[in-house]
Amino acid sequence: MKLDIILAGVGGQGVLSVSAVIAGATARLGWNVKQSEVHGMAQRGGAVLAHLRMADEPVYSDLIPRGDADLILSLEPMESLRYLEYLSPTGTIATDTHPVRNIDDYPDLDRLLETVRSTGTAILVEATSLARQAGNVKAANMVMVGVVAHLLPVTEDALISEIQSTFARLGDKALEANLKAFQLGRTACAKSTANPA
């Protein structure tokens, strides 16, 4: 069994925290995990890509071969399409629909979302709005962890305990918002699966 995830977003959105939570919980299962991150210049508001590879057999390459990713998990709709060549024909895209318009030539959002939907299995969630509802707009990344939780080889409790250890240092209020964001993501996904847009 293996699960290869492409994590996408914009520098500053918390892509690496998503990777840390999922990787941490999966490693506790005894799975092999490799988590390739982006540091340095690219983090400055630019497109960010991380590879997360998990398997109950050896994981060799730190990078996912193109066409092999089981999931593209994106914190931004345009970024969810940037690494499409990595997606397996049976893979899923899950993305926040809220755009980060820090560039002048951002494409038409409706057409963009239509393209995401047309890729096959796509889960589109208004994660940023849900995070605001959870009390911290920056917790959109944990909404998205909740959204894909059912695709991961770990239990909900394992993810919650990983969120607790990742965000405890930020204080009770931030931790609470992130946990609530995760639950809102769970619920939103159940709705979006029951009622495909």
Partner 1 sequence: MTTTRKPATQVVLGDEAVALGALHAGISAAYGYPGTPSTEILEYLLSTPDPGPKVAWCANEKTAYEAAVGVSMVGRRSLVTMKHVGLNVAADPFINSALVEIGGGLVVAVADDPGMHSSQNEQDSRYYADFAHILCLEPADQQQAYDMTRQAFDLSERFHIPVMIRMVTRLAHSRSVVTVAPPHPELPLGDLPDGSNWTLLPANARRRYADLLDRQPALLAHSEDVAELQLASSDLGVITTGIARNYFFEHLAELGDRPSHLHIGTYPIPVAAVRRLAEHVAKIVVLEDGYPYVERLLRGLLEAPVAIDGKLNGQLPSSGELDPDVVRPALGLPDHRPAVPPLELAGRPPQLCRGCPHADSFHALIDAMVELEGPLVCSDIGCYTLGALPPYRAIQSCVCMGASIGMARGAADAGYRPAIAVIGDSTFLHSGMTPLLDAVADNTDLTVLILDNHTVAMTGAQPTLVPSERLPDIIRGLGVDPDHLHVLRASRKGEADLIATITKELNHPGLSVVIAERECIEAVKRDRRERT
Note whether 121 and 92 are within 8 A (CB).
Answer: yes
DSSP assignment letter at 167: H
Asked whether position 42 contacts partner 1 by CB under 8 A, the answer is yes
Angstrom CA distances, 153 to 26, 104, 195, stand at 7, 40, 24
Binding mask 141-160 for partner 1 (x = CB under 8 A): --------------------
Strands 121-125 and 87-96, by their bridges, are parallel
- Grouping H, G, I as helix, E, B as strand and the rest as coil, residue 156 is helix
Side-chain-side CA neighbours of 191 within 13 Å: the count stands at: 10
Angle between helix 140-148 and 127-134 (nearest 10): 110
Question: Please, which residue, 44 or 191, has the CB nearer to partner 1?
Answer: 44
The window from 63-71, 132-140, 145-153, 179-187 that contacts partner 1 (CB under 8 A) reads 63-71
- Please pick, from the candidates 170, 187, 190, 193, the single residue that binds partner 1 as defined by CB under 8 A: 170
Which 8-37 positions form the footprint of partner 1 (CB under 8 A)? Answer: 10-12, 23-24, 27, 32-37
Which 84-113 positions form the footprint of partner 1 (CB under 8 A)? Answer: 84-85, 87-89, 102-103, 105-107
Question: Please, which residue, 5 or 33, has the CB nearer to partner 1?
Answer: 33
What is the chain's alpha carbon radius of gyration, rounded to the nearest angstrom? 16
Question: Please, which residue, 37 or 126, has the CB nearer to partner 1?
Answer: 37
Structure-token pair, residue 74: 């994106």
Question: Please, which residue, 40 or 194, has the CB nearer to partner 1?
Answer: 40
Interface residues toward partner 1, by CB under 8 A: 10-12, 23-24, 27, 32-47, 58-68, 78-79, 81-82, 84-85, 87-89, 102-103, 105-107, 115, 170-171
